[in-house]
Structure 1
């Protein structure tokens, strides 16, 4: 019950805070080195390290061209831990007793590197080494991020749809307003002409009445 509750809490936190990875540990599943760099030492001292963190020595790795497999329960495991979605600068090195340590390879190690369903990531450098890492939690995080990205893209699509509908509504309202103003203006002109015609006719009627009263109109001649 507690495990199920913790899983639900983790999922909620991942959706609310996508930058948080909730301590995804990385274990070393296998390693094979193809060369050694230290000439004076009969047995190489190989270690893994991320920038700003402690060295993780691999005491079992003592020979080149030999595949070493691990169960994830060794004393040096877990190899490292991701506490966010940010990448780390990591690499495999060989200690050098005289000069600076030799580098098998350095690279940007990211949670997104773990793309397979079983959380497996293989790193290979020609003539140097072949390593396999495991991080099941990184795969879960990647799945959630993909879902979150899909939801975000869907939200963006809906956002643009709403914008388009609003724009069409504004244009339609503007067109209707212009048409309404034109109709109202034409109606006003028509009423104005009717009013002027009525006023003009009334003016003629008033003139005829005045002429009749003065006896200068057409009717006065007939009398």
Structure 2
């Protein structure tokens, strides 16, 4: 019985460990694979203190990232990894920040981090003049066509295209209206000049007639 109990206990322990490992393996863990910053926001000549943070999550410091224009690479086993864990379908609002000793912390960028953004387990986020980072999530996959998240993204894309189309059409209409107004104004100026020239010529002709009459009167 003792042996059976030990065997059963060992089996139970092995089962629980296996379940934990399986649960950990199935979660969408996000790690930082590489990062390069292009600037810092501190006025003082001190090394920057960067951290990654998602809404509702814990702040993750990046203690190694100190130099500008230097590419830092990581293997995912660092003591401060992972950065966050993503839900099955929803996104997280995340950002890269820099501590500020005087005012509120500076923002490199904030964005929606989504499981569907990862291609082959990799996602690259670039912010001009700020930073370029590569994130890893082996279990994150692109959204499948027809899924609710994919449909919502397609709707958002279509809405964005419609807005862009409306803006383009409005700009074209504005250009046509402005061009028409400019042409009309030039035509009005031309007609006005022609009328002024005709009036001036008429006055000149009237002046000649008066001179002729005066000359004729003097002759008589």
TM tier, smaller: 0.5 to 0.7
Cα distance in 1 between the residues matched to 2:123 and 2:54:
17
**2:144 pairs with 1:146:** yes
Aligned length: 129
**2:61 pairs with 1:54:** no
Aligned to 2:127: 125
Deviation at 1:148, TM superposition (A): 7.6
Helix, strand or coil: the match of 1:146? coil
Deviation at 1:135, TM superposition (A): 0.5
1:22-171 superposed matches below 5 A: 22-114=26-118, 116-117=119-120, 119-139=121-141, 142=142, 146=144, 149=147
Q: Is the 8 A contact 2:38 2:131 kept in 1?
A: yes
Deviation at 1:22, TM superposition (A): 4.6
Q: Is the 8 A contact 1:32 1:129 kept in 2?
A: yes
Runs of 4+ in structure 1 off by over 6 angstroms are none
Q: Is the 8 A contact 1:48 1:56 kept in 2?
A: yes
Cα distance in 2 between the residues matched to 1:147 and 1:131:
27
Q: Is the 8 A contact 2:57 2:84 kept in 1?
A: no
Deviation at 1:38, TM superposition (A): 1.1
| Superposed CA offset, 1:8-48 (max 9, x none) | x98xxxxxxxxxx9521001000000000011251000000
Cα distance in 2 between the residues matched to 1:136 and 1:48:
19
Aligned to 1:190: none
Deviation at 1:83, TM superposition (A): 2.7
Helix, strand or coil: the match of 1:27? strand
Tell me, which stretches of 5 or more residues in structure 2 are unaligned? Answer: 1-14, 148-220
Tell me, which stretches of 5 or more residues in structure 1 are unaligned? Answer: 11-20, 150-223
1:180-219 superposed matches below 5 A: none
TM-score by structure 2 length? 0.54
Larger radius of gyration: 1
CA RMSD of aligned residues (A): 2.6
Deviation at 1:54, TM superposition (A): 1.5
